Structure 1
């Protein structure tokens, strides 16, 4: 099932400002919040969908990639947890500090929240960045890469809690486990209640009396993980993909960061990329060009046989339709352009020289340039336009 457009989900245009996007998400979050719609699976799905859209469109880098490449630009085409896909409720509610000014508004809107979301601060791990080099063939067909990544992983000894044992974890005495301390202030408009992060537990709602001997209370350790990356066909050099939750683990069992994958393209031995098209320089002797012939040329998919018409001129462009690269998240595929180059020998035998001398004065061997002959670059420009 294809994903809906993120702008349509939030009801904004591509030109919407960051504040307009935040306002639209705030409206959708309140409308579809599960506490406001208990037991409504569709409302919860809409709630998650809006959160995913906001997670992409509120980030300038991800928004730029989405505007350029669609869902594939933020990894949505892979179905493997890229971009905003696969967000859980902890991910979503971790956004509310930015969107709703540092607190969870649903506590007051809906009587404290039917699902006991207390507003505790959930730490998030840092993102990781890696480079993946691809051949032109891998770009054409997509690729699966298994990469070993050195990263922070959850401590197995304490199950990422940072505590020596279960008895070493207790509810914070300052905030009572809510992660926030509240203060009531008298104003001319009446009493106003404000909330701030608990200074004792830093918003976690818990205190650790004895730290884990292995991770020393951090809940994370340096380790190595093999990650399988499914790269969609048609990516380009410099493009970035994102795998949600595959970055560094967060302290004390928080939300892991993302893995950012930077695509690098290995140069091909014989083919050159021009957008989604590929160009091949074919060198022919003037005898083959004059007489015509059949010849095999390399393509991304193997060899292809083409016919050279008699009298083919240097600079002529031939096209192999749909033999180029696919567009990301699309069925459209570019073409292969064959650029004809006539090769002239530098060394001749006496017999070859005599033969050519006899042909020098033949009318058929006199150059006959046309008035409207165009350069190779002009032809290429016209073709790609």
Structure 2
């Protein structure tokens, strides 16, 4: 791909508009898709075409390519979906993993041979978006780029050409089904099947739109901004009405189902609306008590954890109101700090003397005989 001009791959000029790039891609994809093109290298050519469209359909990637002549994301960064970490899921039979699958569905909807009834309503589609725990706390607006069958821009989704019109199917007289009679030795046998001409709709289009071949929808790359509310939990779903698969010839479109997945955080662990963290506390502060300041879940937020006098290892200290925000509420959960009392591995001579004096005052026996001569000599020099 790096040795080929992406504009030549799509067959457009370098000053082509976004609409011209989309139209050129659709026309070339129809010619090269393996479902219709049986050439041995059709699949490779289609992938090449799709990679070119990935770059030229994105304003930022196209600008970089025009300036430097390189393909953004060629080494694995970014990719065709704008750098947003998304997973495609087949929710309700309507998810898609790429433009190749979209075209396969498009060709199937256009042909629908064998008397099979055509589904006119668009299906729901599903994508999974990954965010950080901090983004889940603050709420984010994410732009999702995905492939779908979208309303045809040339006919506004009607499927009609310039002089097109929808008429009653002459094959079935608008019933959507045809009755055939078979003469057998047992007598005449009647059977009703889906009309092969209108595929069960009861109508056909005279002079269909050449861009969508009368479907009213075309494969396209869609961009949509998704408002992720603060406090959302892992696995919760957001429904965006009308952004799934477009319906045929103006039929209702499906919805886009966005499943939000939250990546693990390095410091906090979530439990419902509460947060848990591990806090290392020096043994003196644990014994005497102290106020320790840590970073909260929000940027620039500081949380004071009050360590009680005589705090024990693995003790849990609760700080109210510093957990995750509750969904659709101004309230927050709590923060639980799990204390890990830190015992120093090395002591100065003065520190050891103080601890030995403390042990004596508390009536504790300290075995000094186990200390090596080298350790004792180091204490003398210190």
Which range, TM-score by smaller chain? 0.5 to 0.7
Which residue of the partner structure matches residue 293 of structure 1? Answer: 290
Q: Find the counterpart in structure 2 of residue 247 from structure 1.
A: 244
Using the TM superposition, give the Cα deviation of residue 203 of structure 1 relative to its aligned residue in structure 2, in angstroms.
Answer: 4.1
Aligned to 1:303: 302
Q: Post-superposition shift, 1:365?
A: 6.3
Once the two structures are TM-superposed, the CA of residue 223 in structure 1 deviates from its matched residue by 1.3
Mapped pair 1:155 → 2:152: yes
Give the Cα–Cα distance (whole angstroms) in 1 for the partners of residues 248 and 193 of structure 2.
21
Report what 2:223 is aligned to.
226
Q: Tell me the equivalent position of 1:275.
A: 272
Which deviations, in whole Å up to 9, do the C-alpha atoms of 1:280-316 show, x marking residues without a partner? 2111111111222222122223112233233222222
1:266 aligns with 2:263: yes
Alignment of 1:350-369 (within 5 A): 350-363=349-362
CA contact (8 A) 1:128 1:259 kept: yes
Q: Matched residues in 2 for 1:234 and 1:227: separation?
A: 21
State the partner residue of 2:167.
Answer: 170
Partner of 1:338: 337
Distance in 1 (alpha carbons) for counterparts of 2:200 and 2:288? 82
**Structure 1 length normalisation: TM-score?**
0.54
Could you report, residue by residue, the CA deviation over 1:203-241 in whole angstroms, capped at 9, with x for unpaired residues? Answer: 434212334322233322221222121223322222222
Conserved 8 A contact 2:159-2:213: yes
Residue 146 (str. 1) matches residue 143 (str. 2): yes
Residue 130 (structure 1) aligns with: 127
Does the Cα contact within 8 Å between 1:160 and 1:251 map onto a contact in 2?
yes
Aligned equivalents of 2:135, 2:163: Cα separation in 1: 49
What do the CA deviations read for 1:131-183 (whole angstroms, capped 9, x no partner)?
Answer: 2122223222332222122221111122223343333532333566576789x
Whole-Å separation in 1 of the counterparts to 2:118 and 2:169 = 13
Question: Would you say the 8 A contact 1:127–1:260 is kept in 2?
Answer: yes
Whether the 8 Å CA contact 1:161–1:252 is kept in 2: the answer is yes
Residue 207 of structure 2 aligns to a residue whose secondary structure is coil
Question: 1:261: how far off?
Answer: 1.0
Cα deviation, 1:17-48, whole Å, max 9, x if unaligned, reads: xxxxxxxxxxxxxxxxxxxxxxxxxxxxxxxx
**Residue deviations 1:257-286, cap 9 Å, x none?**
221111111222311111221012111111
Shift of 1:340: 1.6
Considering only aligned residues, what root-mean-square deviation do their CA atoms show, in Å? 3.3
**Is the 8 Å Cα contact of residues 242 and 261 (structure 1) preserved in structure 2?**
yes
TM-score, normalization: structure 2?
A: 0.54
Q: Secondary structure at the match of 2:285?
A: helix
| Partner of residue 313, structure 1 | 312
2: CA distance, partners of 1:366 / 1:160: 88
- SS of 2:146's equivalent in the other structure is strand
Taking the TM superposition and a 5 Å limit, the aligned residue runs for 1:66-145 are 123-145=120-142
1:372 corresponds to:
none
Change (3 A) 1:240 1:364: farther
Q: Secondary structure at the match of 1:167?
A: strand
Which runs of 5 or more residues in structure 2 are unaligned?
A: 1-116, 180-191, 367-382
Task: Give, in whole Å, the separation in 1 of the partners of 2:215 and 2:205.
Answer: 11
**1:127 Cα deviation from its structure 2 partner:** 2.3
Larger Rg: 2
**1:174-203 CA-partner distances (Å, limit 9, x unpaired):** 566576789xxxxxxxxxxxx997654234
